[in-house]
Amino acid sequence: MSIHKIAFMGAGSIAEAVIAGLIQTRFVKGSQITVSNRSNQERLIYFRNTYGVHGTHDKKELLKDADIIFFAMKPKDAAEAVSSVKDYVQDRQLIISLMAGVSTASITNLLEKNNPIIRAMPNTSAAILKSATAISPSVHATEMHIAMARALFEKIGVVSVVNEEQMHAVTALSGSGPAYIYYVVEAMEKAAREIGLTEDISKPLILQTIIGAAEMLKTTPKHPSILRKEITSPGGTTQAGIEVLESCGFQAALIQCITRATTRSHELGETLANLLEK
């Protein structure tokens, strides 16, 4: 399946990250992408000036001749947005949904047609070709459609094919995951200031620490608990720090964080599904 045009409904951060990655890898040219949002013309101008893509609020123009249509709206806008374009969607067009919690069955119901749909959850690291993306096909998606989606997302990171029910967990773990890491880095930066380090000294040290730890986890077969214990000398500085994290329930808080995000993904999907049943 050769790609001549890709349409994006939604111009938020995840749409931008995917677009930036695809253009950077020359999977497509900016001129092959058309982007739309509800009403923010300034955002479309930004996309055009930054990535050389087309912008429009004309839904018919957006979807005309598109090989792939990305649904990148907020989940709460799914019903209104999909219903507004269903008359312009052609049976042959592949739908890739980036909407957290929204099932392929709900999208099929909204479209009132059996388009192939790939539900995908990349993250914003797609912009630097480091996304962790999971994809799940609808019942109407063929192996060709799965291969096309995999090829597309492999251009911007690593890809896993999962059962659709697992997408809620993926959304919470890797879709939202970068935000958790950024939150930790925020805390490390605040701590650095409190212990007397200036930003020009602390920032490169923090970033390289995060990068180095990630590379260690990637290249060694050792479990993270073993790597942690190798740094933690009895009675030493690392142990003193870890003891504080344990007393504050750091691991438990992070587990609850991801569990709650998973539940929220379920809730978003159920809200739309309940609406469609009425």
User: 3-state DSSP call for residue 133?
Assistant: strand
Question: Both 125 and 223 in a single domain?
Answer: no
Q: What's the token pair of residue 82?
A: 């999909």
Residues in the chain: 278
**pLDDT of 1:** 61
Closest of 135, 121, 127 to residue 156, by C-alpha: 127
- Report in angstroms the alpha-carbon separations of 38 from 25, 48, 55, 95: 28, 16, 12, 19
pLDDT for the residue numbered 273: 83
- Kindly report the CATH number assigned to the domain that includes residue 151: 3.40.50.720
- What one-letter code names the amino acid at 2? S
Distance CA 55, CA 45 (A): 7
Residues 102 and 190 in one domain: no
- Structural domain of residue 188, as residue ranges? 177-258
Residue 8 has pLDDT above 80, yes or no: yes
Q: Which runs of E-coded beta strand occur in the chain?
A: 6-9, 33-36, 54-55, 68-71, 94-97, 117-121, 131-137, 157-161
Residue 27 shares a structural domain with residue 74 = yes
Domain stop point among 167, 198, 225? 167
DSSP 172: I
**Judgement on whether residues 192 and 124 belong to the same structural domain of the protein:** no
Residue 69 belongs to a domain: yes
- Residues 258-265: contacts with CB within 8 Å, 24+ apart? 258/172, 258/173, 258/176, 258/180, 259/172, 260/172, 261/171, 261/172, 261/176, 262/168, 262/169, 262/171, 262/172, 262/173, 264/101, 264/172, 265/100, 265/101, 265/167, 265/168, 265/171, 265/172
Per the domain annotation, does 273 fall within a domain?
no
Report which DSSP code applies to 75. G
Asked whether the predicted pLDDT for residue 52 surpasses 70, the reply is yes
Shared-domain flag, residues 161 and 205: no
Q: Is residue 274 part of a domain?
A: no
pLDDT grade for 278, boundaries at 50, 70 and 90: low
- Total domains in the chain come to 2
Distance CA 16, CA 33 (A): 11
Summarised one tens digit per residue, pLDDT across range 110-157 is 999 999 999 999 999 999 999 999 999 999 999 999 999 999 999 999
40: pLDDT strictly greater than 80: yes
Does residue 247 sit within a domain? yes
Q: How does residue 39 score in pLDDT terms, banded at 50, 70 and 90?
A: confident
- Of all residues in the chain, the percent with pLDDT exceeding 90 is 95
Residue bearing tokens 């190798």: 230
Q: pTM of the full predicted structure?
A: 0.92
To which residue do tokens 């599904």 refer?
A: 273
> Do 242 and 106 fall into the same domain?
no
Residue 274 in this model has a pLDDT that exceeds 90: no
